[in-house]
């Protein structure tokens, strides 16, 4: 079984979308093995988005993800990294396929409601940033 990190970003929390988004994940057949609501520390945000450090949107990205509470989930299932990316849709909601989470709920590239790890290696690194091993149910 693969695991991936999913973040319901501050815009999703502010808009009250947690239940709907978690429901979509579970209806896809995935299992949530860890879940917590948190305010992301600035230092963790810097590590989480480190691959974007040299990009012009990095400062805004960190400011947004630390602007309010988010929900962090570890989601488990067969081929979960790729399939979660598929059900989330393109980062730009205008380019996201109809019926994807971002097509249905995101309002812009910046306010795109959800994050999912982009590879198994990223998933392992990101899960370790947000959860201790003993916080993950097996």
Show the domains of the chain with their CATH numbers: 2-133 (3.30.70.141)
> Does residue 115 have an active-site annotation?
yes
Average pLDDT over residues 95-116: 97
* Whole-prediction pTM: 0.96
Which of the residues 42, 48, 115, 138 is marked catalytic? 115
pLDDT tens per residue, range 4-50: 999 999 999 999 999 999 999 999 999 999 999 999 999 999 999 99
Distance CA 13, CA 65 (A): 11
Percent of the chain with pLDDT over 90: 93
CB 123 within 8 A of CB 24: no
Whole-number Cα distances in Å, 68 to 6, 117, 132: 16, 20, 22
Reported confidence tier of residue 126, pLDDT bands at 50, 70, 90: very high
| Closest among 110, 119, 115, 112 to 130, alpha carbons compared | 115
Which H helix or E strand runs over 61?
Answer: helix 58-65
């Amino acid at each position: 079984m693969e695991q991936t990190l999913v973040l319901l970003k501050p815009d999703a929390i502010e808009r009250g979308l947690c239940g709907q988004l978690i429901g979509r994940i579970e209806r896809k057949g995935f299992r949530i093995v860890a879940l917590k609501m948190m305010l992301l520390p600035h230092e963790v945000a810097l590590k989480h988005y480190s691959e974007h450090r040299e990009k012009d949107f990095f400062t805004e990205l960190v400011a947004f993800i630390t602007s309010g509470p988010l929900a962090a989930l570890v989601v488990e299932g067969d081929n979960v990294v790729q399939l979660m990316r598929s059900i989330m849709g393109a980062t730009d909601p205008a380019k996201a396929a109809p019926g994807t989470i971002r097509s249905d709920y995101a309002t812009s590239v910046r306010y795109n409601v959800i994050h999912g790890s982009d590879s198994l290696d990223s998933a392992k690194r990101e899960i370790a940033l947000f959860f201790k091993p003993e916080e993950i149910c097996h």
